[in-house]
A and B are shown apart, each in its own frame.
Chain A
Amino acid sequence: MDINYHLDQVSFRYSDQWVLRDFSLEVHEGEILGIIGPNGSGKTSLLKLMAGLLYPQAGRLTLRGQDISTLDARALARQAAMVPQENHVLFPFTVAEVVLMGRFVHQNGWGWESPEDLRIARAAIQVMDLEPLVDRTFQELSGGERQRTIIARALAQQAPILLLDEPTAFLDIKHQLEIYATLRRLNQDRGVTIVVVSHDLNLASQYCQRLLLLHEGRRFCTGSPAEVLTAENLGIVYGCEVLIDQHPEAGTPRITLPALVSVGGVFKNDTRTTLF
């Protein structure tokens, strides 16, 4: 199996605190890899490193055999499309205009969008169920519609690797499902490699072939959802007791929070308990 990303002893920090320490990972071509872990465990930083938006202070990060620091923005954007978690569009660009920006990497200089650009952008808009909104400005959209617009932009980029940071964070359940179904279809039909950061453990369990569980900037474990999503692993990493059974249809692990909240050990010796 071909390797898309190879991280070898990668360390990264923003200022003086290490976000990732001696981190190693391989992302295989054609897989759907889910990155899970508590807040501040380094998920987003890891994704940004892969997108070439951040550079590691130590270690080696290669994309298809090439050191990522040697690739320019254009070469990177042709390989990997990024869906950031937060998106701000200052000027009143329409949905159509925002999605067409995904075609930039295939265009040259000044000039106008080719029929090919328009066709591909239109297809991406259709897939994301945005057709009635093409004329609306990004600022007028709801959180979920914005998210779908940004995903459509990434699809229009036509990169063989998709990097998504919490793509379903603001979406209702119908669109959550649709996004993951679209990701799976892109993966199966087109062989697109997908790396997705998710807080939704159940969706990750259902749709990812492999999961990476991060804990304080290090790899806690990787493996199939059944291997990673155990009560013991989650208990240690999240510091929180969970119930795990099976998805009635898919048979993948299903995570539920217990009815009686007992935050395992976290508050036991904490001064905050005296407040309650």
Chain B
Amino acid sequence: MEAFAHAGVHADRLLPTLTLRRWVKTIAVLIVLSFLGLLICLQYGTERIPFGTMLRLLAGSDSQASTGPSPAVILWEVRLPRLLLAFLVGASLATVGVTLQALLRNPLADPYILGISSGAALGAALAVQFGVSWAFAGFSAIHLFAFIGAAVTMIGIYHIAADGGRIPIQTLLLAGVIINAILSALILFITSLSDSTSAFRLFFWLMGSLATLGYAGLLALAVYVVLGLVVLFGEARHLNLLSLGEEPAKGLGLEVERIKRVIFFTSALLTGAVVAVSGLIGFVGMIVPHGVRMVLGPDHRLVLPAAALVGGTFLAIADTIARSLLAPTELPVGVITALYGGPFFIYLLMSRRKSHMG
């Protein structure tokens, strides 16, 4: 290779590619924007807390309230934990979406559409129904069952769809639809076995809601989410190769089977943890990665952390809308994401078909 490497090639004329400088700049900007977005969301709820008052309260100078729950309590005990939960859930769903899209080589893959979230939900519903209730270090039987449900579904989807190496988009979506239908039937079956109160709770949870978890639960979730995200970020470059297809990736030196196991395990863990606390929240894992790729390009070293930040903020905003739109009535946040995610999905599907015909 040296033979032609010398002929007129200047080592300093670099190729246009992702550099550390660009990575740091982009992520820094996204962190600042996310932070600002969260602060703005924090103002809204049943009652708006003005920005100045909010900052004072957050800084700790508590002006004594007269009657009812003080703004400080609302802020610290209600809004902030919920906002942080939304951020963690959104970040996880978007990251899992990015990962599945690279693994399945399909930009429309999403844990919700493919039924992986439903698998986790079925697991969680089973744990609740049969009263399996042990917990250790914030990790409960519900989490474990949700994880198993997500993992089994994911591996099932992969084997149905990946037959023969390439995955036609229709096969994948069809597999998702059918798996979703089967899992929904099973969940409904379980729901119908339980009494009306818990059936209602189950039903509300299935629509996707971010009811308060409390700081202890939040911390436990944060540990799993951060661990999961870090593991997936570590596979970023591998995902670049994997998105070319398994055989080419292997030809370039990637240990495809090992990477796939890591991805299956970690994505299932994240999906399970998130579904167990927030139910079925759709489309975040599809819309966010798509937008991020459009703006930042396809390199997963940048797309993964960016999608996590954007996804977290996105869901925090969606949840704020869900809480404020018909206040004091609360909409399930899954309804909000589905209402603008669904049309977006149809748009993507149609524009894809057009570009394939053209």
Contact = CB atoms under 8 A, between A and B. Distances in A.
Interface in A114-147: 115, 118-127, 134-135
Contact of A123 (B9, B20, B241): B9
Given A97-B17, A119-B9, A88 B244 contact: yes
Interface in B249-299: 250-256, 293, 297-299
- For chain B, the bracket of interface size reads 35 or more
B240 A122 contact: no
A84 B3 CA distance: 25
A181 B252 CA distance: 24
A132 B4 CA distance: 18
B297 A92 contact: yes
The B contact surface, by secondary structure, is loop
Contact of A87 (B15, B248, B254, B301): B248
A68 interface: no
A73 B254 contact: yes
B253 A100 contact: no
Given A90-B105, A91-B243, A110-B236, A78 B253 contact: yes
A77 B253 contact: yes
Interface in A160-209: 185-186, 189-190
Contacts of A97: 17, 240, 298-299
B59 interface: no
A124 B9 CA distance: 10
Contacts of B8: 126
B107 interface: yes
* B12, B15, B241, B247 — most chain A CB neighbours (10 Å): B15
B237 interface: yes
Given A112-B20, A123-B9, A190-B1, A53 B247 contact: yes
The A contact surface, by secondary structure, is helix
A10 interface: no
A150 to B, nearest CB: 9
Contacts of A107: 237
B245 interface: yes
Given A88-B245, A97-B17, A134-B15, A126 B4 contact: yes
Contact of A112 (B19, B107, B243, B252): B19
A36 interface: no
Nearest to B297: A92
Contact of A118 (B15, B105, B107): B15
Given A101-B240, A158-B1, A115 B11 contact: yes
Interface of B: 1-5, 7-9, 11-20, 102, 105-107, 166, 233-234, 236-237, 240-241, 243-245, 247-248, 250-256, 293, 297-299, 301
11 contacts: A53-B250, A88-B245, A91-B293, A96-B17, A97-B298, A118-B17, A122-B9, A123-B1, A124-B1, A127-B4, A190-B1
Interface of A: 48, 51-53, 72-74, 76-78, 81-82, 84, 87-94, 96-97, 99-102, 104-105, 107, 109-110, 112-113, 115, 118-127, 134-135, 153, 155, 157-158, 185-186, 189-190
